[in-house]
Structure 1
Amino acid sequence: MRTSTLMLGGGLCAAAIAMASAASAADQAFEIRFAAKVGGAPLVCGKTYPGVGTTKADIRLQDFRLYVSNVRLLKAGGGEVALRLDQDGVWQDADLALIDLEDASGNCNGNTATRAVVRGKAPAGRYTGLVFDLGVPQAMNHQDPTNARPPLNFSALSWPWRGGYKFVTIDFDASAPTNPKAAGFSIHLGSTDCGEGALRSPPQAPCRLQNRPTYRFEAFDPARQIVVFDLAALVADNDVTLNTPGTPAGCMSGDNDDDCAGVMKRFGLAFRQAPAGAQAWVRVE
C-alpha cells in the first residue's frame, strides 16, 4: 500500500510538471518599449530644447517618471488579453510598472537607473494593439512609500497628503525672451480631492478626481514599435514660463489651477466643465 501511494504521488507530480510545462510553452514573452521625446527629438537630461509651449520657450529636463498599469494586448481577431507582468521586485509589482526616462545626469535629479520597458507574458498568438492605464491602481495608491514594495517605494513619486502617488512626475526648467528668469514647470498627475482623514490611509471613497486615463492603440506591434510620450505635445497649450499666482509651479492636478487646463486636455482628462476628450501626447512609432 505504501509503495502504490508513493507511485501515485509520483505520477501526480509528473502530471503537474507536464501541465506546468505545457502552460509555459503556450505563453509568449512580450516587451513593451517606451520613450520620451520633445516633438521628434529624444528627450535626454542635460540638453536644451527650444520652441516649447505657446511662447516657444527653451526647456531642460529635471525629471520624467510615470506609472503604467493594467496593460492589455489586443488580439487580431478582437478582444483584450491581460499582459501578466514579470514580478522582478524592482520595476514591476502585480499589474503596475514604473517607467523611468531620466538618468540623474545634467540637470536631472532622479535616479541613475532607468527603465523604458514593461515585460510580461500572454498566451501565444497574434496581437495587433495595446491598451494601458496611466497611473497607480486605486487599491495600491494610498500607502506609505517608506514601507511599500518597489516600485512604490519612492517618496519623490508620492504626495504628502491623501492624494497618494504621482502617476506622472515631469519637471523641467523653462525660459523665453518674454520671461528669461522663469521658474521651473512641473506636471504631477495624480488623484486629487480625496476627502478628509489620515494622510497615508486610503480614503473612505475614491477621490473625486481620479485622473487615471486609459490609452488605447488599435495598431501596435510590440516587436517593431514603441510608445512615445511627447512632452512638447503635452504642454503645447501652456506658457511654461508663467504660473498662475497663488498656485504651485505648473500643474498639480487640482481643478483650482488654471495651468492645468491645457495639460489635462492633452492627457485626455476632464477639467472643470470641459469633458474628457481624446489624449494628444502619446503616440506609437
Structure 2
Amino acid sequence: MKAKTKSATSFLIFFVAFSLWHYYTSQKVNAAQTQEVTIKFAAKVGNKPFSCGSNYKLGKPATTVTPLDFRFYIADITLIDNNNKAIPIALNQDGKWQYKNVALIDFENKTGACANGTVETRNIVVGKIPQGQYKAIKFTLGLPENLNHEDSTLAPSPLNLTSLWWNWQFGYKFARIDFAHSTKSQPTEIHQHKHGEKEAGNAFFIHLGSTGCQAETSSQKPTTKCTNPNTAIINLANFEPSKNTIVIDIAKLVANTNLTKNQVDTAPGCMSEPNDKDCTGIMTVFGIPFGGQTSVKQTFFSVK
C-alpha cells in the first residue's frame, strides 16, 4: 500500500513539473514568435507641421484659422503581410491610450487656443503581432458599434473623454478637428445642436460621429444600429511599420470647404448630419459616402 502511495505521489509530482515546464516553454515560444510593433502618425497642415499655437490659411477661399482641437479614434488595426493575409495587431492595454481594439490619436496639447484638450499628446499605436514581413495597413476611423454608445463618465480610458462624447444616443465623436477664425460665419447666431452642443459662429467644428441613431431620448442607447455609422475603413499600401509614418493632413480635409460660411439652421461646421452641405467635401476626404454618394476614396491619410 505504501509503495502504491509513493508511486502515485511521484507520478503527481512528475505530472505537475512537466505541466509547468510545458507551460513556460510554450510561453517562451509564443513570445519568440511575436514582435512588438509601433505605428507612427504625424499631423500636417499642407507642408507645415500641425501646432495649436499657429495660424494657417485653409479652406476655399483661403481663410486664416487657428486650431482648437485635433483628436480621433481608430479601431481594428491590421497589417497585411506579403501573402496578402490580414493580421490584427494585439494592442497593448496601457490603461490610457488604448483599450481593447481601440486607440486614441491626440495631436493637441492644450496650448495656444487648444484649451479644451489635454496636455499629453499621442502619435503612436503600440501592440504585438506575429513575426513576419508586412507591406500594408488597414484600420477603421471611428469606434465599433459595441463601444460607441457607452457612458463616457464610467468608461475606461481613452473612452472617458467627455469632450469626445455627444450622448448615449449618438455616442462618441470619432474625430474632433476644430478651428477658430476672425470672420463671423453666416448665420451668426449661437446655435443649439441636437447633439447637445452650443457653439458660436466664428468657428468651424468638424465632429465626425454616427447619426440616425434611434432612441426615445438622448440619454438612452439606440435600440437598433445607427442609419449612418459614419466610420471609414482606411487602406494604405506600401506601409512598413519600421520605415513608414502615417501622415494626416488637415489642409486636405477642408480644401474644398468655405470655413466662413455655414448652412442655415445647422451647427457651425460639420456635425456629420446628412442634410448639412458643409459636410460634403469633408466626408469625401474622410472616405465616407455622403449626400447620395455610393463610394468615395479617402485622402485624409497617406504614407510617408
Q: TM-score range with shorter-chain normalisation?
A: over 0.9
Q: In structure 1, what is the equivalent of residue 274 of structure 2?
A: 255
Counterpart residue number, 2:234: 215
Spell out the pairing of 1:92-131 with structure 2 (5 A cutoff): 92-109=98-115, 110-131=117-138
Match of 1:279 in 2: 298
> For the Cα contact (< 8 Å) 1:169–1:189, is it kept in 2?
yes
Structure 2 residue 170 is matched with structure 1 residue 170 = no
Q: Which aligned pairs between 1:206-245 and structure 2 lie closer than 5 A? A: 206-245=225-264
- Partner of residue 40, structure 1: 47
Contact persistence 1:143–1:200 (CA under 8 A)? no
Q: Structure 1: how far apart are the matches of 2:21 and 2:216?
A: 53
Deviation sequence 1:144-183 (CA, Å, 0-9, x none): 100001110011100025110000011111246999x961
SS at match of 1:205: coil
2: CA distance between counterparts of 1:114 and 1:177?
30
AA of the residue aligned to 1:173: A
Amino acid of the structure 1 residue aligned with 2:16: G
Partner of residue 62 from structure 1, selected from 65, 68, 74: 68
CA apart distance, 1:4 = 2.2
Distance 1:178 1:257 in 2: 15
Q: Distance in 1 between matches of 2:178 and 2:100?
A: 27
Write the distance in 2 (CA, Å) between the matches of 1:79 and 1:175.
Answer: 50
Structure 1 portions without partners, runs of 5+: none
Structure 1 residue identity aligned to 2:143: V
Secondary structure of the corresponding residue to residue 106 of structure 1:
coil
Q: CA deviation at 1:53?
A: 0.7
TM-score, scaled relative to structure 2: 0.89
Corresponding residue for residue 90 of structure 1: 96
Q: Tell me the SS of whatever aligns to 1:12.
A: helix
Residue 87 of structure 2 is aligned to residue 81 of structure 1: yes
- 2:144 match: 137
How is 1:143-222 mapped onto 2 (pairs within 5 angstroms)? 143-175=150-182, 183-222=202-241
Cα distance in structure 2, aligned partners of 1:247 and 1:199: 18
- Which one has a bigger Cα radius of gyration? 2
What residue number does 1:31 align with? 38
What is the TM-score normalised by the length of structure 1? 0.95
Which SS does the other structure have where 1:119 is aligned?
Answer: strand
Q: Contact between 1:190 and 1:210, CA under 8 Å: does it hold in 2?
A: yes
SS at match of 2:66: strand
Structure 1 residues 178, 115: CA separation in 2 closer, same or farther (over 3 Å shift)? closer
**Alignment check: 8 A CA contact 1:143 1:201 kept:** no
How many residue pairs match? The answer is: 283
Deviation of 1:6 (Å): 2.2
Structure 2 Cα separation of the partners of residues 15 and 115 of structure 1: 39
CA RMSD of aligned residues (A): 1.7
Residue 4 of structure 2 corresponds to none
Q: Which residue of 2 aligns with 1:11?
A: 18
Letter in 2 for 1:118: V
